[in-house]
């Protein structure tokens, strides 16, 4: 859900792994641009010898764009929300997904810093999780999986297994912390670099 900078690349990850993907956004032109970007990414992979033309064509055919969230959510097993970083908007989206998705569907957020577990309200808190990807998702292997206070071990295991299935290297964070792990390590490194520069080392 959300076909922008992260969303179109997320769709590509799953579709290259053989999954049937519904890509949702609010406007047709956003979806058209997303499909064009995915096609361009796949073409680059073919040119680099990392994919075949047939695999690229097959991958592109597995992505079905949908402007209406009802169309995208109706048969979903796993949903990743990659919309604007706004708590109110995410809360509304998760309520809609909870209402529209099958009972077994896992609802994941790609938030970079929001503690969604404090404000998202669903009838399936055991199936709500964060999967924090890095740009661009179809290139960078790391995915941080963050469990919430009510996220079930089964949801964590299923999410981790799915990430491995689509070729990613997940790490599981046992509880929410601001910045997760990779961003915190990067910030610490940046602080040390600035200290060395500022002090003439």
Count of residues for the chain?
A: 201
Tokens 């033309």 — which residue?
Answer: 53
* Residue partners of 5: CB distance under 8 A and separation at least 6: 135
Among 35, 124, 132, 168, the active-site one is 132
Checking 171-174 for CB contacts under 8 A at 24+ apart, the result is 171/142, 171/143, 171/144, 171/145, 172/145, 172/147, 173/144, 173/145, 173/146, 173/147, 174/147
**Bridge partners for 197 per DSSP:** none
8 as an active site residue: the answer is no
* Residues that are catalytic: 132
């Amino acid at each position: 859900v959300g076909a922008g900078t992260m969303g179109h690349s997320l769709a590509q990850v799953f579709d290259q792994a053989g999954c049937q993907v519904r890509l949702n956004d609010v406007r047709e032109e956003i979806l058209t641009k997303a499909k064009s970007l995915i096609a361009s990414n796949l073409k680059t992979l073919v040119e680099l010898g990392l994919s075949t033309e047939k695999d690229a064509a097959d991958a592109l055919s597995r992505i079905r764009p949908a402007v209406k969230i009802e169309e995208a959510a109706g048969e979903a097993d796993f949903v990743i929300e990659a919309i604007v970083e706004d708590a109110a908007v995410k809360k509304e989206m998760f309520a809609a997904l909870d209402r529209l998705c099958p009972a077994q569907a896992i609802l994941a957020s790609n938030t970079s810093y929001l503690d969604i577990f404090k404000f998202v309200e669903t009838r399936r808190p055991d199936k709500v999780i964060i999967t924090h990807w890095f740009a661009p998702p179809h290139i960078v292997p790391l995915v941080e999986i963050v469990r919430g206070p009510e996220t079930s071990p089964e949801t964590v295991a299923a999410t981790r297994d799915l990430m491995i299935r689509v070729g990613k290297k997940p790490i599981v964070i046992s509880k929410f912390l601001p910045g997760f792990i990779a961003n915190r390590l990067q910030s610490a490194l940046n602080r040390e670099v600035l200290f060395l520069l500022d002090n003439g080392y």
